[in-house]
A and B are shown apart, each in its own frame.
Chain A
Amino acid sequence: MAGISVVAKKEFRDHVMGWKFLVILAILMLISLLAMHQGVESYNKQLDSYKEQTAEIEEHPEVMPPRGMPEKPSILSVFHVMSMLFGILYAILAIAIGFNLISGEKESGSLKSLLSHPVFRDTIINGKALGGMGALGFAMLIMTLLSIGILMMLGIMPTGDEFVRILVFMGFSLLFMFSFFAIALMCSTITKNSTRAITYTLAIFVVISFVMPTAGIFVGMQLAGDMPEYPGMGRQEINESEGEGISKEEQIEEQERIREEWQEEMQEYWKKVMGIREMFSIGDPKSNFEKVSSAVLNPRFQSIFVFGGPMGEPPAETSILEALRMVWKNLLVLLVFPVVMFAIAYIKFMRMDIR
């Protein structure tokens, strides 16, 4: 255990004092500042609009607002935007930290020197993993403190629930980074040098995060059959039908029925397509992170894809636990993925000849 802490401390220090880490963290912080600034501005506008609408409803309770009941904006939407922006940057930071952890030491010869001293191999790989995860955790801690600090500086105090959701989101962001860190560590262990390690890591990143989901949509659209066409009548057709003795109200009613049927078919179609896409991107940390983030950061999260929908009351709020229950599969993959990658790296490292 003492050995692991020696390795982990050295690795942590190397990472947080290394230029790669500092440059990417600086970029993350800069983008974070911009995103927070814009997000808070948009949040304030939404809040003003919400206040106006609710005041109007209170004044005229008999009049139904044209776009349904207004939804109170949440500061969580700012973090939702951040999750979209930061996905790739988080992955890059994690890859930058992990890709040469083992291969770099093989190349420099320091691994041979290190292993000639009384230290178990698992101590080294575990220590390296802990040090790397610690550095990523440190980056995430800075990002969290920065985000919450900016909110407070701008006079926005998250509610208790929002605060918990922000912390849980940051936790999952860290888990997402661990996934790419583990891929990079695995590639660093199985390859002979850092150039190959980074090439393999980026290839895996592109395939699982971009190629597979896109292929999933394509295959989904092929397998789901033809997209349902809207069979409704245009205004001219309604006018023509009126001449044939069918009242306008009847026609509108009929058209509403047709629209609802089409909506159901369309919903079914997209459900199939998205189901196939999800199958293709089951191993994609980015897709799973986005889904889990949506669940955590959207208090009115709905697990299934909804196309259109009736106007009126917004969907009911879900607790964070309920939301997480809805995305348990994605959460499980997000947890299992780094473990599997690390297990491959571990087995390979334990068995390899150090020449």
Chain B
Amino acid sequence: MIRTENLTKVYNGNKAVDGLNLEIAEGDIFGFLGPNGAGKSTTILMLVGLIEPTEGKCIINDIEVARNPLKVKELIGYLPENVGFYGNMTAEQNLDYFARFYPIDADERKKRIEELLELVQLANVSQKVGGYSRGMTQRLGFAQALLNNPGVIFLDEPTTNLDPEGVLQLRQTLKKLSDEGKTIFFSSHILAEVAQVCNTIGIISNGTLIERGTLDEVKTKLDVRKTVKIIVEATEDMPAIEHENIIDVEYKGRRAVIEAKSDIRDYISRYLLENNVGIKELRIEEPTLEDVFMESVYKGKGGK
């Protein structure tokens, strides 16, 4: 389980993360969403013990990170944003170097490394990491994050540099890891990515958590629109529709897009039937999570 309590980080007087309170249950795939510079990476760096919080604390499996970073690092795996390796060494040598800091014997270490390289499709690559493409480096970074078979995995923008096949493979692996009961903290600024793999999400903007919950919960909470969009399609040319709640109507032949103060579908259906016009389609157009996210983070709620 991952928990943060009033987590704050100040750089040169600016709050990169401001009083963040999070709780992520065991086995969750948590999507941490936010625009660039929102404080996602800073939060992860505090969670994995690479930077110290100015205030507050991070707790992973009941262990406070700042007090016992080494113990926490034995439990977690971390794929940093723009992950880096030793360019003069092969993938196997890089993983072997990191694996030597765990109490794993040589045979087990070798076996584990072979499995991981197989998983990320780098098993038969003999070239040194310095000659890798960004995508290959990212895949090696993922293998590195799973080196100790961690119970909690932090992934900072893990799909960056991956090709579509790599992204698909990552999603499948994350699903499998989640089924094994591992907790995954997935940070991204791309909503579509998060929506594909995560069951809960949190949205951070300017260092503050603006919403969290399941995808539907977050969408509902963030949807602050005061109007509804009604799509109507008739069997013949659309007559002019009038109602006090209608703000705007756009007619296109047999079709109309109505912006209203409330859901007036009952009135519209009665009106069309009274005018002997058949109804082919009558529905409310729901905002997508993407719309809500863009609206709240980039235009509305995000600003402090």
State the A residues within 8 Å of B (CB): 3, 6, 10, 14, 18, 105, 108-120, 353-355
Contact = CB atoms under 8 A, between A and B. Distances in A.
Given A116-B73, A117-B98, A120-B70, A109 B51 contact: no
B74 A113 contact: no
A113 B101 contact: no
A355 B102 contact: no
A116 B51 contact: no
Nearest to B48: A116
B144 A3 contact: no
B51 A118 contact: no
B73 A112 contact: no
B267 interface: no
B75 to A, nearest CB: 9
Most buried by B among A6, A109, A116, A119: A116
B80 interface: yes
Contact of A118 (B80, B85, B102, B144): B102
Contacts of B167: none
A315 to B, nearest CB: 53
A108 B130 CA distance: 10
B97 interface: yes
Interface in B113-136: none
29 contacts: A3-B101, A6-B100, A6-B101, A10-B97, A14-B86, A14-B88, A105-B84, A108-B85, A109-B80, A109-B83, A109-B85, A110-B86, A111-B84, A112-B83, A113-B84, A113-B141, A116-B50, A116-B145, A117-B102, A117-B148, A118-B70, A118-B73, A118-B101, A118-B102, A119-B70, A119-B73, A353-B52, A355-B50, A355-B51
A355 B45 contact: yes
Contacts of B41: 355
Contacts of A116: 48, 50, 73, 76-78, 80, 145
Given A108-B86, A112-B84, A113-B85, 4 more contacts: A105-B84, A116-B78, A118-B71, A355-B42
A113 B52 contact: no
**Could you say which of B73, B77, B84, B145 has the most chain A C-beta atoms within 10 Å of its C-beta?**
B84
Contacts of B147: 117
A113 B76 CA distance: 12
The 8 closest A-B pairs by CB, nearest first: A109-B84, A116-B78, A118-B73, A108-B84, A353-B51, A354-B50, A110-B84, A112-B80
B82 interface: yes
A117 B82 CA distance: 17
Contacts, number: 71
A353 B83 contact: no
Contacts of B83: 109, 112-113
Contacts of A109: 80, 82-85
Contact of A115 (B50, B76, B87): B50
Given A108-B87, A353-B50, A355-B51, A113 B102 contact: no
A69 to B, nearest CB: 59
A6 to B, nearest CB: 5
A149 to B, nearest CB: 31
B44 to A, nearest CB: 10
In this complex, which of B52, B100, B147, B148 has the most chain A Cβ atoms within 10 angstroms of its Cβ? Answer: B100
Contacts of A6: 97, 100-101
A220 to B, nearest CB: 45
A282 B86 CA distance: 39
A117 B85 contact: no
B224 to A, nearest CB: 34
A95 to B, nearest CB: 20
Nearest to A354: B50
A112 B50 contact: yes
B50 A119 contact: no
Interface in B142-177: 144-145, 147-148
A72 to B, nearest CB: 51
A215 B132 CA distance: 51
A205 B121 CA distance: 47
B205 to A, nearest CB: 20
A114 B83 CA distance: 10
Nearest to A18: B88
A6 B101 CA distance: 8
